[in-house]
Amino acid sequence: MAKNRVEGRPGRPGVVKQARGGPGRGFYLGLAVIAIAGVGLLAWQASKPKQVVSEIDTTLPKMESQGHLIGSPTAKLEVIEFADFECPGCGQFATLTEPDIRTRLINTGLIRMRFVDYPLPIHKNTWHAHRAAWCAGDQGKFWEMHDAIFANQDIWNGEATGDPDKALLGVAKGVGVDESKYQQCIDTKKFQGQIQANLADAEKRGIDRTPSFIIGTKKISGGLPYDEFKKAVDTELASMAAAPTPALPAAKKP
């Protein structure tokens, strides 16, 4: 979800008369700029979204058929990400944090990750991007398209174009899809129902912000830098290791 942007708006400084032998007008203007910048920084810090951690509803069935999975199916822990392709915070996570996660946690077999669609109504081109990712995935290129869509948010998002399908076709060509098959998939909205089902399932789980993550029994709303992501993973793995092993049923007597 796009973060609220708080910008410091400098007021018009009063006229400062220069006294003989004292600081000049530039000195006082400099102080004013520093003060305004400080106020703006404090306002931004106070207003930026905070991460929220809560327990998941363990009575809901596991999300074993939704979204797309990356990593070994035998990894100890599955992390679920709920994301919107047009969300700036999701783009930041995908381009800055996720490469480290793949190298250090996924490629080493420690975790696997499941991407689940959560297109937000405030983003007018996001459904086009989610359909594009699924249509590339229909040709075995979901994750290549996932990465390319996030890396090129600036050319297809709602502020950049009124024809996102055309821009996304260029992105799809770049990852090597069969153009005719891809275009047919887009034209028929082949995966619209699946994306809608993913969204509905996410809402049942109380997801209301992107990106959000389920790591073990915890739901974390808000973007995570790598160190915090790794800490959450380590905490869950330690909890799993400490859990008692279920007792085997006693052997029946002959």
**CATH number of the CATH domain containing 67:** 3.40.30.10
| Mean pLDDT score, 21-43 | 47
Q: Show the domain range for 134.
A: 53-241
251 located within any domain: no
Residue 49 has pLDDT above 90, yes or no: no
13 located within any domain: no
231 located within any domain: yes
Residue labelled with tokens 């420690």: 110
Residue 251 has pLDDT above 70, yes or no: no
pTM equals 0.76
Cis preceding linkage at 164, omega within 30: no
48 located within any domain: no
106 located within any domain: yes
Q: Using CB atoms within 10 Å of the CB of residue 219, give its burial: 0 to 12 exposed, 13 to 18 middle, 19+ buried.
A: buried
The H or E element spanning position 117 is strand 111-117
pLDDT for 250 equals: 60
62 located within any domain: yes
Q: How many domains does the chain have?
A: 1
97 located within any domain: yes
